[in-house]
Structure 1
Amino acid sequence: MEAVAKLRNYPTSPRKMRLLADLIRGMKVDQALAVLEHNTKHSSVPLAKLVKSAAFNWKAKNDGADESALVVKTIMVDGGRTLKRMRPAPQGRGYRVRKRSNHVTVTVDTI
């Protein structure tokens, strides 16, 4: 039985988060956590917390089951809300700055 955890409106662009998501997709949970722990990217910390949360959700659903075979089955990164801000530009103009965010969904299950 699979378990799901979601991270909503995290203020990092989806493109940057997808780099890490592609890195851990299909890995065992303990191996994915080790990879994320030693990664230097800013988004690795919340992604590691999300994988841990999904693993704990699976553990709560399946009492007494073996959790050593848990695998990151699916991980999806979707665009979240975009905050629109203005930045001063030459000659009285204003450039639009889009501050992007993302939604991450992790599903874990046994092999």
Structure 2
Amino acid sequence: MSVRKMRLVVDLIRGKRVGEALGILEYSKQEAAIWLKKNLLSAVANWEFKTDGLESADEYDLFISEAFADSGAQIKRFRPAPHGRAHRIRKHSCHITLKVSNKTPLPSERVTATESETVQA
């Protein structure tokens, strides 16, 4: 999919909470929404895995902290044209980057904050 088409949908979900972004992507008509929804669910699953699977994403108020689409490689093909000529067809692709962060601190972050306060006191 071309970058221009993908950026239209990426701009809709940037900075939103994960649940709200999934709702936007679910009811969007663009094909890019299908690809972004898969990537967003993958990012949430990666966040859960990174926290050792102890925490569920629903409890920590996840939001999309960073989202952008960059151009990728082009596949170049030729199509026959009149008078024995050929026209070039460029099939565009893009790279999607989604970063998910939590607003509610994790239990390990809370413990670290309280330990640092006791050391300083």
Deviations 1:4-41 (A, max 9, x none): xxxxxxxx011111111111000000100000000011
Cα gap change, 1:44 to 1:65, in 2 (>3 Å):
closer
Bigger helix share:
2
Contact 1:59 1:67 in 2 (8 A): no
TM-score, scaled relative to structure 2: 0.75
For 2:93, which of 76, 101, 106 is the aligned residue? 101
- 2:102 aligns with 110
- 1:29 aligns with 18
CA distance in structure 1 between the aligned counterparts of 2:55 and 2:77, rounded to whole angstroms: 50
Question: Helix, strand or coil: the match of 1:84?
Answer: strand
Aligned residues: 100
Structure index of larger Rg: 2
In structure 1, runs of 5+ residues without a counterpart are: 1-11
Which amino acid is 1:25 matched to? R
Identity %: 41
- 1:75 aligns with 67
Question: Helix, strand or coil: the match of 1:40?
Answer: coil
Contact 2:3 2:92 in 1 (8 A): yes
Deviation at 1:67, TM superposition (A): 3.4
Q: List, as ranges, runs of 4+ consecutive aligned residues in structure 1 with deviation greater than 6 Å.
A: none
In structure 2, runs of 5+ residues without a counterpart are: 104-121
